Amino acid sequence: MIRQTTLLVARVLAGVTATGTLLVATNGHVTRAAAAPGVAVVTAAPNIGEVATSREAQLRAAGYVEGEFFLEGTAQSYARRGDWNVDGVWETVPGETAPFAIRLLARYPRDPTRFNGVVFVEWFNVSGQSEGDPNFSLLHAELLRDGYAYVGVGAQAAGINGRGGLKNVNSDRYAALHHPGDSYSYDIYSQAGRAIRTPPELAPLGALTSRIRHLIADGESQSAGRMVTYVNAVHPLARVYDGFFIHSRSGGAALLAQDAETRAAAPTPARIRRDLDVPVFTIQAEGDVPRFMSARQPDSDMLRTWELAGTAHADRYLLTGGGVRPLTITCDESVPELNVPVNDGPMTYPMRAALRHMKRWVDGGAPPPSAPALATVGAALSRDAATGIAIAGVRTPQVDVPVRTLNGVREPAGGGGFCRLFGRTDEWNGDTDPWDGGPADPSPTPEPVLSRLYPTRAVYLARFDEAVERGIRSGFILREDAAAMKAEASRVTFGLNE
């Protein structure tokens, strides 16, 4: 049983923050009715130590509030019914039930009138054995300036019990949390969405709840695989979310159940089912495309896929929390081919545009513009012979008017665990060949001579500005980001004459 504090009682009575969907305040005390299966209870986290994954200082500066809550109830697992094929039309039946208590991390405008009515619900990524918010990192500029609410959901067991999990970073604060296993993660995520919509005096978003129009489900990397399985197998039953934002998935999908007897692997490739009743937007970094290629499928009225040229699964911007902290990750410098900086895309700009399109789409507006897939030769990406940059896909000025090679693939594979996901940035020094493709490329591409590409600095800046405007017209860049992108270009120095 999660204990309620005096502070929580005061907040409940004042209607300032959220408590559980089944909490009742009487005579200055908070009591709780028994939770029925599928009906979860929301409570405020105890004020003991620091909040894991907190962005409180960053949010406060933007006029936002951060609140941490526990979600407690009984979740069900699912079992596969019939054959699952690559078309994604997957049937499930309810499985066993088990109790759970996980956390929600809510971020929302302090002024309710700033709220745009859309809640971005991120399935916390647990690849690092902790709860991470990669898409908040990539999208925080758009989320905060456009008035979104955000809720991170700790749907998986490793976020609580992993090496860097909640109980290991603050055992006292998170003592009440427990997870029955990832077979229950899908229903836990559904219950989190329902809890967000509960009456405003009880929900994690407090007074904003009555203003909610849509919930957008989001997952990146491992969580993107969960999103694929959720869309195909769980959403037709649960119908909690109004759209799905799937970022950096592979060609497969996550397991439906984890226990030995009901372990249910999805087929590979795993495509998104075509009988969708809500929008699904898949965003693929260049570095993900080789693993995703087999699952490619045409766009439809309810499905869009963007493949972003020159971007990595995780780039510098993401690895610095959205540019708010230093880059502390280093890769294996003992391997010459890997002794280069991680990818510096930047992926954030087309991702922000994608989110803007997604918001309009779930609100009944036009779908995002379709984009060409990245060009391939067999299972490999096609690259420009002069620059080494991937051909086609969603383009940014950084790849159309390049001064270095932005590569989403870090070759050779490996380079110290997660480093293989970070891509590479190869600077052009004027007298060496920075893009050698690794040992797999026996004929390195000569480095472009910058003075031939851009006779003067003014020519470079003019072409960059044209590329920004082209991206805006195409719908892949937001007008609000044009000034920042042009300012970045103005800081580029490579010895050209003015």
| pLDDT score, position 410 | 82
| pLDDT score, position 337 | 56
Mean pLDDT on 465-476? 98
Give the tens place of pLDDT for each residue, 6-28: 223 223 222 333 333 333 222 22
Give the tens place of pLDDT for each residue, 356-374: 999 999 999 999 999 999 9
Token readout for 423 is 């891509």
Q: pTM for the complete prediction? A: 0.89
Q: How far apart are CA 58 and CA 64, in angstroms?
A: 8
| pLDDT score, position 11 | 30
Give the tens place of pLDDT for each residue, 270-313: 999 999 999 999 999 999 999 999 999 999 999 999 999 999 99
Higher pLDDT, residue 230 or 9: 230
| pLDDT score, position 429 | 63
Token readout for 256 is 């439906």
- What percentage of the chain has pLDDT greater than the value 90? 72
Nearest to 90 by CA among 221, 271, 248, 213: 271
Which domains are present in the chain? 45-373 (3.40.50.1820)
Token readout for 484 is 């920042």
Mean pLDDT on 74-93? 95
| pLDDT score, position 332 | 61
| pLDDT score, position 8 | 31
Mean pLDDT on 436-454? 56
Give the other-Cβ count within 10 Å of 87's Cβ.
15
Q: How far apart are CA 216 and CA 360, in angstroms?
A: 11
- Sign of the torsion angle spanned by Cα atoms 127, 130, 131, 134: negative
Give the tens place of pLDDT for each residue, 192-205: 999 999 887 778 99
| pLDDT score, position 10 | 28
Q: By the 8 A CB rule, do 421 and 343 touch?
A: no
Confidence band of 336 (pLDDT split at 50, 70, 90): low
Q: By the 8 A CB rule, do 40 and 194 touch?
A: yes
Please compute Rg for the chain using Cα positions: 23
